[in-house]
Structure 1
Amino acid sequence: MDEIRIQVNGRERDVPAGTSVAVLLRDLGLDGRAIVVELNRRIVRPPEIESIRFEAGDRVELVHFVGGG
C-alpha cells in the first residue's frame, strides 16, 4: 500500500494512503472524545473524524483536554 507523509504536532509521519483521522487517533492510542483535532488550521468536528482522509502534506495538530480545578 502506498504511503503519504503528513505532519503530526510538528513531526513528520508516514501513514498509509487513505488513512482517516479516526485511524490515526486509534494508531496513536488516543481517545477522540478527549482530543481536539486541527487539520490544516481547521477544527475537525467529531462527526467528521471517520470520513476525513489525509492527503500528502497535511498538517495535523492534536490537543489533549486536561481536567483540573
Structure 2
Amino acid sequence: MKHIFINGEAKQITCLNISQLIEELNMEGKRFAIELNQIIIPKSNFKQTLIADQDRIEIIHAVGGG
C-alpha cells in the first residue's frame, strides 16, 4: 500500500503506475493531464511511470467551452 497525494488529498493506493491509477479512478476516455511531483507525464508514458510512496499527483481536467 502506498500513501500518495492526489490534488492535495491524502490517498492510499495499491497501483504500480499511472495507467493503473487512471483505471482505478475510472478516468479512461476522459480528457485530463497528469502531473507527478511537478512534472507533466505524457499519456504515452503512463504505463512506464511508476508511483512511489509519498508521490504528489495533480490531475488537471480539460474543460471545453467557447
- TM, length-normalised to structure 2: 0.91
| 1:52–1:45 distance in 2 versus 1, CA, 3 Å | same
**Distance change (3 Å), C-alpha of 1:50 and 1:41:** same
**Deviation for aligned residue 1:46:** 1.1
Aligned to 2:10: 12
Q: Aligned match of 1:27 in 24, 27, 50? A: 24
Q: CA RMSD in A?
A: 1.4
Give the TM-score, by structure 1 length: 0.87
**Residue number in structure 2 paired with 1:50:** 47
The residue aligned with 1:67 is 64
Counterpart Cα distance in 2 of 1:35 and 1:22: 13
Structure 2 counterpart SS, 1:66? coil
The runs of 5 or more residues in structure 1 that have no matched partner are: none
**Amino acid corresponding to residue 63 of structure 1 in structure 2:** I
- 1:53 and 1:23 mapped to 2: Cα distance? 10
